[in-house]
Amino acid sequence: MKVSDYMVDFFLSRGIKDVFGYPGGMVTHLIDSFSRRGDEISAHVNYHEQASAFCACGYAQVSGLPGIAYATSGPGATNLITGIANAFFDSIPGIFLTGQVNTFEAKGDLPIRQKGFQETDILSMVKGITKYCVYISQAEDIRYELEKAWYLANEGRKGPVLLDIPMNVLRSDVDPDSLPGFEEEPDRISNLKEKKGKLCEWMRQSRRPVLLIGAGVKSAGKEEAIRGLAKSWGLPVVSSMLAFDVFPKEYPNYFGFIGAYGTREANFIVAKSDLILSVGSRLDVRQVGARAENFGGEARIVRMDVDPNEFSRKIREDELEITCGISEFVKEMEAEDSFRAPMEPWLTVCNEIRKRLEHMDEDRPNKLIGRLSEKLPEDLIITTDVGQNQVWVAQSFWVKEKQRVLFSGGHGAMGYSLPAAIGAYYGSRKPVVCLCGDGGIQMNIQELQFLARERLPILIVILNNCALGMIRHFQEMYFDSNYAQTMEEGGYTVPEFGKIAWGYGLDYHKISTDEDMEAYEPCLDRPQVVEICLENPTYVFPKLEFGKPNQDQEPLLDRKLYQELMDL
């Protein structure tokens, strides 16, 4: 059978029903093979390869399967790079397929820039943002490389792999029964058992512990398991921003996400704790602050991560570092009842902090996001873009138990929300609410044609402040309000989104006032564009000034109140 047919069979055998890509000369055989099996697998054509890569990310984030995206050589391959980087930094499993010029056209070791048309050395470009990338020079390697790619995308800390395949290899014939396969490597070494004794000792000695969960919990698909562990232990819980949806807002012991834009109560609780048990979080600078020594006051820190490389950047010299997966951690620790101190006095302090700080920083965008979330049903997916819209959602969206929120986290890619929403729909077959700013929507606005073509149940909500609000705020703080390139006076403008929606044949609804929001009923059975008009300037508060401890966010609390909270 033809190599490209073998590839389609491989993906079908592993449960893949949807892939994303864009046509090009070097992948025509692959496209044809997908088409011939169109009753079993759908190859969805996007309008930009970056969108295909983001679709693959969204698909993987909700399905748990690797997302698959393909592109031709040269510009097609390079256009995938932003999405590949997004998958790498957010631990999203993905298999990216790039066509390449025929082997007889390749420059090989010649000291020239290019021999074949659209020939590009994509492997050198993606080596630092993939778990594995390889050039498949002969057809007989296809089974081995596909099996290896699938294994590595899913193994340990998940992430993207890339297979670069020349056109003449894709069209070659192979005998499937004679192809050599890949043997899976031994499981990653865990040190949980040898570190468990010290962990339990610290747990027994703690009087004010806090459980801090990160996006690794979501990547592992262990949200329910970690919720069960937290409930059995009865601890206060905080999260990274990317994991704020793991615990529904009604969970009484969840106090929000930490960090520069986190909730004040979460940051105060961490500052007052004596033991921070971090599970699946990188504890990056946005979470712990520019000065790591300020994080957590005098608390002991336990870090559990599947990737031991994360421990090379220490938060404390004496931190307890545990290398294992979430599943093993929950299984090993769920029978442990090592917290000897009663939690009620500590939870009383946490609830008092929440009571005194709740609703302190809510601006109109926060209230609008909160009201919109109340109107949405439970069983759907939410995607956001990057910028103020993302933080407003994390701060104010009232997450229900079955809802999932997808971010572009570590890479922070504008233009993520719309194509990720498309991928999330196909990965879940649930309605999706796509939230974005006026800047982010324009990064991949061409994918509105995808929605128009397929009539997907995706609600696009554009929070329009006619500015690149996050950077505009930086300019106000640090550049004497010189709004270069972020507002109309500096050269940045936005279109009339109603006319854009009309041009794509999509329903459009405009919300200008709070009364408009009260009257609005979300449409979730077909694509619709909703524009929420915001007064400029807009802000994200609370916000941490560089170098300060997390709990001392802007605008600064009254110093008397601040001290009272620290003394509780």
State whether residue 110 is helix, strand or coil.
coil
**What kind and span of H or E run contains 388?**
helix 388-396
Q: What is the pLDDT of residue 276?
A: 97
Q: What is the pLDDT of residue 91?
A: 97
Q: d(Cα 208, Cα 270) in Å, to the nearest integer?
A: 9
Lowest mean pLDDT among 188-192, 396-400, 405-409: 188-192
pLDDT at 187 exceeding the cut of 80: no
pLDDT at 190 exceeding the cut of 80: yes
pLDDT cut 70: percent of the chain above it? 100
**What kind and span of H or E run contains 532?**
strand 528-533
pLDDT confidence bin for 18, thresholds 50/70/90:
very high
State whether residue 474 is helix, strand or coil.
helix
Token readout for 288 is 């712990």
Q: d(Cα 502, Cα 197) in Å, to the nearest integer?
A: 63
- Average pLDDT for residues 129-153, to the nearest whole number? 98
Sign of CA dihedral 533, 493, 393, 521: positive
Beta strands per DSSP E along 306-406 = 320-323, 381-384, 404-406
For residue range 285-318, list pLDDT tens digits in order.
Answer: 989 988 888 899 889 999 999 999 999 999 999 9
For residue range 443-490, list pLDDT tens digits in order.
Answer: 999 999 999 999 999 999 999 999 999 999 999 999 999 999 999 999
Q: What is the pLDDT of residue 133?
A: 98
Residue showing tokens 């070659």: 172
Sign of CA dihedral 273, 279, 283, 287: negative
CB atoms within 10 A of CB 180: 11
Q: What is the pLDDT of residue 269?
A: 97
For residue range 476-530, list pLDDT tens digits in order.
Answer: 999 999 999 999 999 999 999 999 999 999 999 999 999 999 999 999 999 999 9
Beta strand 404-406 with 300-305 is unpaired
Q: d(Cα 484, Cα 467) in Å, to the nearest integer?
A: 11
Q: d(Cα 179, Cα 168) in Å, to the nearest integer?
A: 18
CB atoms within 10 A of CB 177: 5
pLDDT at 362 exceeding the cut of 90: no
Give Cα 477 to chain centroid, integer Å.
Answer: 28
Three state DSSP letters for 393-461 = HHHHCCCCCCCEEECCCCCCCCCCHHHHHHHHHHHHCCCEEEEEECCHHHHCHHHHHHHHHHCCCEEEE
Class of the 3-178 domain?
alpha beta
pLDDT confidence bin for 104, thresholds 50/70/90:
very high
Domain 364-533 has CATH 3.40.50.970: yes
Instruction: Tell me the domain boundaries of the chain.
Output: 3-178, 192-357, 364-533
State whether residue 189 is helix, strand or coil.
coil
State whether residue 135 is helix, strand or coil.
strand
pLDDT at 360 exceeding the cut of 90: no
> For the residues of 73-98, what is the DSSP string, one character each?
TTHHHHHTHHHHHHHHHTT--EEEEE
Domain 192-357 has CATH 3.30.70.100: no
pLDDT cut 90: percent of the chain above it? 92
Q: What is the pLDDT of residue 293?
A: 86
Residues with Cβ within 8 Å of residue 534, at least 6 apart in sequence: 364, 365, 463, 464, 465
Q: What is the pLDDT of residue 398?
A: 93
Q: What is the pLDDT of residue 189?
A: 84
For residue range 52-70, list pLDDT tens digits in order.
Answer: 999 999 999 999 999 999 9
Q: Is 136 exposed, middle or buried (0-12, 13-18, 19+ CB in 10 A)?
A: buried
| ω into 522 cis (within 30 of 0) | no
